[in-house]
Structure 1
Amino acid sequence: MAWRHALLISMLLLVACSVPEPPPAPAPATPTAAPSPPTLVPRRPEEAATAFFDAWQQGQYSAMYDLLSADARAATPRDLFARRYTNIRDGIGEVKLTVQQTGPASTSGQVPFRVTRTLALFGEVSETNTLPLVQDQTGVWKVAWQPGLIFTGLTASSTVRVTPEAPARGRILDRNKKPLADNGSILAVGVVPGEITDEAMLLGAMADVLGMPAETIKQRYQGGQPTWFMPIVDRPGSDRPDLEAKIGSIPGVALHDRPARVYPLGPSAAHVVGYVAHPTADELRALASSGYDESDWVGRSGIEAFAEQQLAGKKGGAIQIVDQSGKVLRNIVEKAAEPGEDVLLSIDSGIQQAAFEALGDKTGSAIVMSTGGLHDIFAMVSNPSFDPNRFVTGLSDEDWQALNGPDRPLVLRATEAAYPTGSIFKIITMAAGLEKGVAKSSDRFDCGLDWNGLPGVTLHNWQAEGMLNLSEALTESCNPAFYEIGLKLDQLDPNILPTYARLFGLGKGTAVRGVHEVAGTVPDPAWKQQQIGEQWTTGDSVNLAIGQGYLLATPLQMANAYAALFDGTLTTPVLMPGLEGQALGDLKLKPSTLSAIKDGLSRVTSTPRGTAYYAFRDEKLPLLAKTGSAENENPDAHAWFVGFALPEKPSLLVLVMIEGG
């Protein structure tokens, strides 16, 4: 800018003029007085302005105060000065501040400047202003400060008010656009102190109905003005009729509806949908730049957490200067809130509810998934569960203890827990055996009670079944047939069966979007050496062949593996349409291999020797199915079942896993 060049030239001239001429040489014999020191030049206005602006940008409010004129310091104490800057900075969510001089100082010491603030909620906000400077008695330039230098129009008696506007959170919808998470209302149960006529009766009744100590209830309304509504506790909106009947007529008790996040299916879809909670201190530090504060709600698990950015929308609000009566003197900035976007899931509410109810009081998981094309998840439930509405209305100490108890109700067992699979793994062993030529569909296996294929070791079958071909062995879940295949695969290469397990998607996440999942474990020689420090044995391969040993898989991994039998392609399951499943790989199985596996599965429910025949003998719909019983560290084996319709066209696949079932 031209004025900067002019200023530079002026400063150079002033420096030159301030150098005194050398005194004349004294006469040799006549003593002379010492020369007078040069006159001090006052600091220029721009220097004072630059120092003030630099200190402001760095948040050095004490240094700013040192630059104020005597009159300004007399009007505003140091601590009040610093506190006002600090409170406004923090209150408006200031992330960055830039202050720049925009022109030369006037002859009277007025310095124009621009202040640009980057605010977490409002973005960049700029305004121009003028810094007034005066010279003190020594000629030094000082800032004639007044509150209007923070924001134009601000005075000693007015304040900066920030009014946030929260956006409506997006809904989570099922495949038919029925809400799984919605914006509804909950019931605030409270007390209006001035309306109490019999405090002992009120406290006794509320304590009994709400399950709270009377002392706690009283503490929560003590100190309130007579006409104030003092909230005591939140309850689901569905509790209103019961609460009105029991305590609604007691003088002093008040029931108010207030907006809140609600979950219509409650525990049935809790793990998939997730829940919201107020941000923790650590979360606030991470989210502050997005305008979050401690009153906001953030997704803590499930889709609520995964799609937080999409669901949350963008906050709005206003920053205003107001007088003591609250009258708006100036609008500094305004921004309308942008509502969050709805998130559509592949879940079917009716199927989800039915699957959850079918589990009853059993600990485990159930999955309903489509086969063919996209593997849409119609239902994914886990039990024990929790009610996400309780995170909104408030959790008691007992609630927290239950949530963190040994039953682990917060764990989505379908994806966050891995188990030995037992006999449902046998389709993978059968595929590997047929593809590698160690078995043929026509081979006959002795399915007696004992198998002695390992030196000095006798392994057992669950019942004597006679001589069976391979498909029949799958139907009747003959252990010796699969022990034999595991043995031969190990003799060929101990890594073959682990490789096929990974080909079917085990040992790694399914890449489903929206929920957390664990990878499980596919053991092989390298894994055992690294994790356990032992050599792989043939017995490990034989155990793996029937889904035992060190093998661990999630229910979703196994459901996805079976869904891949429809067309021979492993695909990412879809929970959020729009994030379509990606082909994870071709199983590379010959049509004859797939046919033999499907033939064995088709007899499980349709022939008397099938392991699920008696459960399904009255069903007219033909099914492909497999049962499994997996030994684990507990006395009772885990029970598995997977079934789907015959594969002429895509259908729904159902997988159920019961811990110790």
Structure 2
Amino acid sequence: MKQQFPLKNVQQEKRIFRGRIFFAMGLVTCCLLLLVARYAYLQIFHYEQFSEASDKNRIRLQPIPPARGYIYDRNGILLADNYPVFTATLSKADVKDIDDTVKRLTPVINLSQEDIERFNSRVKTARKTERVTLKLNLTETDIARFSETKFLFPGVDIETQMTRYYPHGELFAHVIGYVGRINDRELKSIDKDAYTGTNLIGKIGVEKYYEDLLHGIPGYESIEADAHGNVLRHLGQKQSIRGNDLYLSLDYGLQTVAAEQLAGRRGAIVAIDPRTGEILALVSSPSFNPNLFVTGIGHAEYSALRDNLDQPLYNRALQGTYPPGSTIKPMEGLGGIHYKTVDWDTTIFDPGYFHLPGDSHKFRDWKKSGHGTVNLHKSIVESCDTYFYVLSYQMGIDRMNEWMRQFGFGEKTGVDLPSESSGLYPNPEWKMRTRKSKWLKGETISVSIGQGAFIATPLQLAMATAITANHGAHVTPHVLRSTRGAREHPVHNAPTGRINFSGTDEDWIKMRNAMVDVIQAGTGRGIRTAQYKIAGKTGTAQVKSIAQGKRYNEALLTERQLDHGLFVGFAPAENPEIAIAVIWENGRHGGSAAKLARPIMDYWLLNRKKNPIIPTHHQVSGGLMTAGIKPGDLPSGEIPLSTDPRAVPGSDNRATASVPAQSATQAPPAVNSADVSE
């Protein structure tokens, strides 16, 4: 029997199909409504948020680094200039694989390992929108090679940036200092917002001490860019604020004369205006070219400077510590007056030596036969050691320490320069703390003539001499004379206190007269002049100890074992305008150092106004460099200072600390072997 199948129910199938259609349409409609609602929610209620995010992708803030302030001497002569260099930079926002880009770029612009290391350090902390420097000071060859392959390096550009130039090279290196690339340690401490787009920071000298004034305040430029980082248009900018210009108390001419005196020698010269504390000249010799450090000095060049036996990187004027020798006798003699240990009529008989009561050990005078009957005046003029042996024995080390510290010995002067040494004025407490032993009376005798453990910097000697010239008025040495710019900075050009002295003004005058006689008829008579009076004191500091009972014999010593020559003085004696300290390493005796001081005083007092020393050509900032002219190519020819629009109106008429020089840090010799002339 044939099976019967039911007929197809068309109506039912249509209903099912229509239901499915309506369900699908409803689902799609609901989804569309959800999308429309979400779109409306984002566009209406979160418009500002997403508009800002969109602008951040489209609009970028490019930092505008500030120009560094200029540095001038007291007469408006330019000492630190700015000039443009070509720099390769990379935008973090536009480079996906930075390591690969740097690797491919290395042979194109000749990136060194140092360049790469500096870049890697900086790029880690840079903002996403910041451009980071790859290499400073590109050569013409670097620029040409990059231009040919620029399309291979999206996000990498060549820009013009300002860098530092020191037109007088070695002359002001130790006092002006230099700028260099920001290193890892500095990156951790600086304000990254203030240094955005900046590669250089002060390393030593004025450049470091006044970094906050010189640096300036960065600005920014708002630009519109496409997805590839190409600039479409400039939307606006906030200009950066240039750093303050600094006008220093240094005098170009005096600095030149002082440097000429130390040419080919090791030593330091510091000249101060005793009325204000202004440093007029500060020279450390030998020196170095600070321009080598600005864009990064090579390992070979740095090693040559670092390993040089004469230590050109070492600032002898500020950091060098030397036994001051007899230069401190005027200050010490006034201490005897203060404590009433002696007066101007107190005399001793000098047989050429001194020994402590109950001790046969002889502390010898530099003059073997002695000076005979000596008072305080004669002891200064002839630099009689024995008089000060007796004086120190009577005063005692505690009172000597209390008195001499008032002149700044054993403490930093407070000069506005970094890395100053405090020197050392030894005492029993210091010896027990550092050497775990008691003070010996013989050490007091050594300290009394500036030997033993007593060490001082040339700057400290200059300040102490200025205080003596001022009849006890204390001045703080400083190099900043004035500043102009957006930031205020007070400068104090006046005495900051007075020595606690129980004597009278007449005692200061008598000591001044004794120092005048040092020049007129004593150990400094080689520099006397009829044109003005100099008050001074010579000194000799031993480098190599001579055994008790032995004679000092220069013929048996090497050049670096010869004594240091020192001189301190001020002029004109009655109304001082300049105080000076000179240290000539291995200069043999103080008379030699005094001869270096005389031309400096002559220039300041006799020649500065009528025949000033000025640069043979005036340095130009910027401009010429863009035409490919380097600083060394600037034209020469005497150009009046008045042609410089940055000159000061109303002017006067115009890391790296290294190991100290061997001769400046040897163990202090025992003074009882002294048998040399002042």
Would you say same fold, with TM above 0.5? Answer: yes
Q: CA 1:221/1:290 → structure 2, altered by over 3 Å: closer, same or farther?
A: closer
Residue 378 (structure 1) aligned with residue 280 (structure 2): yes
Residue 397 (structure 1) aligned with residue 299 (structure 2): yes
Residue 511 (structure 1) aligned with residue 414 (structure 2): yes
Measured after TM superposition, the shift of residue 448 of structure 1 is: 3.4
Residue 180 (structure 1) aligned with residue 79 (structure 2): yes
Q: Which residue does the alignment assign to 1:468?
A: 374
Using the alignment, how far apart are the partners of 2:238 and 2:164 within structure 1? 24
Aligned partner letter, 1:598:
R
Q: Which residue does the alignment assign to 2:42?
A: 110
Q: Which residue does the alignment assign to 2:525?
A: 613
Residue 570 (structure 1) aligned with residue 474 (structure 2): yes
Q: Which residue does the alignment assign to 1:477?
A: 383
Q: Please report the TM-score for the alignment, with normalisation by the length of structure 1.
A: 0.65
2:64 to 149, 165, 180: 165
1:596 to 502, 510, 519: 510
Residue 649 (structure 1) aligned with residue 586 (structure 2): no
1:349 to 241, 249, 252: 252
Q: CA 1:469/1:416 → structure 2, altered by over 3 Å: closer, same or farther?
A: same
1:529 to 432, 442, 448: 432
Measured after TM superposition, the shift of residue 327 of structure 1 is: 4.7
Residues 591-650 of structure 1 show CA distances to partners (whole Å, capped at 9, x for unaligned) of: 24313321221111111xx11112x14553211010001124673222111121244323
- Asked if 1 retains the 8 angstrom alpha-carbon contact of 2:469 and 2:512, the reply is no
SS in 2 for 1:643: strand
- Asked if 2 retains the 8 angstrom alpha-carbon contact of 1:435 and 1:593, the reply is no
Using the alignment, how far apart are the partners of 1:320 and 1:507 within structure 2? 57
- Asked if 1 retains the 8 angstrom alpha-carbon contact of 2:272 and 2:278, the reply is yes
Using the alignment, how far apart are the partners of 2:47 and 2:453 within structure 1? 72
- Asked if 2 retains the 8 angstrom alpha-carbon contact of 1:364 and 1:384, the reply is yes
Measured after TM superposition, the shift of residue 579 of structure 1 is: 2.1
Using the alignment, how far apart are the partners of 2:189 and 2:315 within structure 1? 26
Using the alignment, how far apart are the partners of 1:521 and 1:365 within structure 2? 18
- Asked if 2 retains the 8 angstrom alpha-carbon contact of 1:364 and 1:659, the reply is yes
Measured after TM superposition, the shift of residue 337 of structure 1 is: 1.2
Q: Which residue does the alignment assign to 2:673?
A: none
Using the alignment, how far apart are the partners of 1:596 and 1:506 within structure 2? 23
> Which aligned pairs between 1:384-463 and structure 2 lie closer than 5 A?
384-392=286-294, 394-405=296-307, 406-453=309-356, 455-463=359-367
> Which aligned pairs between 1:43-122 and structure 2 lie closer than 5 A?
108-110=40-42
> Which aligned pairs between 1:287-306 and structure 2 lie closer than 5 A?
287-293=190-196, 295-306=198-209
Structure 1 or 2, whichever has the larger Rg, is 1
Using the alignment, how far apart are the partners of 1:111 and 1:529 within structure 2? 79
Residues 268-291 of structure 1 show CA distances to partners (whole Å, capped at 9, x for unaligned) of: 111111101111123223335334
Q: Which residue does the alignment assign to 2:538?
A: 627
SS in 2 for 1:495: helix
Measured after TM superposition, the shift of residue 410 of structure 1 is: 2.4
Using the alignment, how far apart are the partners of 1:605 and 1:382 within structure 2? 25
Using the alignment, how far apart are the partners of 2:542 and 2:147 within structure 1? 64
Using the alignment, how far apart are the partners of 1:538 and 1:178 within structure 2? 53
Measured after TM superposition, the shift of residue 428 of structure 1 is: 2.4
Using the alignment, how far apart are the partners of 1:165 and 1:187 within structure 2? 15
Q: CA 1:225/1:320 → structure 2, altered by over 3 Å: closer, same or farther?
A: closer
After superposition, the CA RMSD in angstroms is 3.3
SS in 1 for 2:62: strand
Measured after TM superposition, the shift of residue 402 of structure 1 is: 2.8
- Asked if 2 retains the 8 angstrom alpha-carbon contact of 1:279 and 1:294, the reply is no
Aligned partner letter, 1:168:
A
Using the alignment, how far apart are the partners of 2:328 and 2:267 within structure 1? 18
Using the alignment, how far apart are the partners of 2:44 and 2:355 within structure 1? 95
Q: CA 1:159/1:390 → structure 2, altered by over 3 Å: closer, same or farther?
A: same
Instruction: Name structure 1 gaps, 5 residues minimum.
Output: 1-69, 72-104, 114-127, 132-147, 189-215, 229-255
SS in 1 for 2:337: helix
Aligned partner letter, 1:579:
V
- Asked if 2 retains the 8 angstrom alpha-carbon contact of 1:371 and 1:563, the reply is yes
- Asked if 2 retains the 8 angstrom alpha-carbon contact of 1:110 and 1:130, the reply is no
Measured after TM superposition, the shift of residue 449 of structure 1 is: 2.6
Q: Which residue does the alignment assign to 1:640?
A: 566
Using the alignment, how far apart are the partners of 1:469 and 1:264 within structure 2? 52
Residues 539-597 of structure 1 show CA distances to partners (whole Å, capped at 9, x for unaligned) of: 11111110111111111111111111223111111311242155144242432431332
Q: Which residue does the alignment assign to 2:492?
A: 580
Q: Which residue does the alignment assign to 1:4?
A: none
Aligned partner letter, 1:503:
Q
Instruction: Name structure 2 gaps, 5 residues minimum.
Output: 1-30, 88-137, 151-158, 482-489, 545-559, 588-678
Measured after TM superposition, the shift of residue 380 of structure 1 is: 0.7
- Asked if 1 retains the 8 angstrom alpha-carbon contact of 2:196 and 2:218, the reply is no
Using the alignment, how far apart are the partners of 1:185 and 1:359 within structure 2? 34
Residue 487 (structure 1) aligned with residue 487 (structure 2): no
Measured after TM superposition, the shift of residue 356 of structure 1 is: 1.2
Q: Which residue does the alignment assign to 1:552?
A: 455
Residues 116-149 of structure 1 show CA distances to partners (whole Å, capped at 9, x for unaligned) of: xxxxxxxxxxxx8446xxxxxxxxxxxxxxxx56
Using the alignment, how far apart are the partners of 2:530 and 2:332 within structure 1? 29
Measured after TM superposition, the shift of residue 418 of structure 1 is: 1.9
- Asked if 2 retains the 8 angstrom alpha-carbon contact of 1:263 and 1:389, the reply is yes
Using the alignment, how far apart are the partners of 1:363 and 1:402 within structure 2? 17
Residues 61-89 of structure 1 show CA distances to partners (whole Å, capped at 9, x for unaligned) of: xxxxxxxxx99xxxxxxxxxxxxxxxxxx
Residues 440-462 of structure 1 show CA distances to partners (whole Å, capped at 9, x for unaligned) of: 21122333332233512111111
Highest relative contact order (Cα 8 Å, sep 6+), 1 or 2? 2
Using the alignment, how far apart are the partners of 1:299 and 1:503 within structure 2? 33
SS in 2 for 1:289: coil
- Asked if 2 retains the 8 angstrom alpha-carbon contact of 1:445 and 1:469, the reply is yes
Using the alignment, how far apart are the partners of 2:169 and 2:140 within structure 1? 31
Using the alignment, how far apart are the partners of 2:380 and 2:86 within structure 1? 56
Aligned partner letter, 1:612:
G
Residues 147-190 of structure 1 show CA distances to partners (whole Å, capped at 9, x for unaligned) of: x5662346xxx6554433222211011111211111246799xx
Aligned partner letter, 1:644:
F
- Asked if 1 retains the 8 angstrom alpha-carbon contact of 2:180 and 2:296, the reply is no
Residues 321-360 of structure 1 show CA distances to partners (whole Å, capped at 9, x for unaligned) of: 31258353684x7311111110111111111111112111
Aligned partner letter, 1:301:
I
Using the alignment, how far apart are the partners of 2:352 and 2:400 within structure 1? 24
- Asked if 2 retains the 8 angstrom alpha-carbon contact of 1:365 and 1:658, the reply is yes
> Which aligned pairs between 1:221-232 and structure 2 lie closer than 5 A?
224-226=146-148
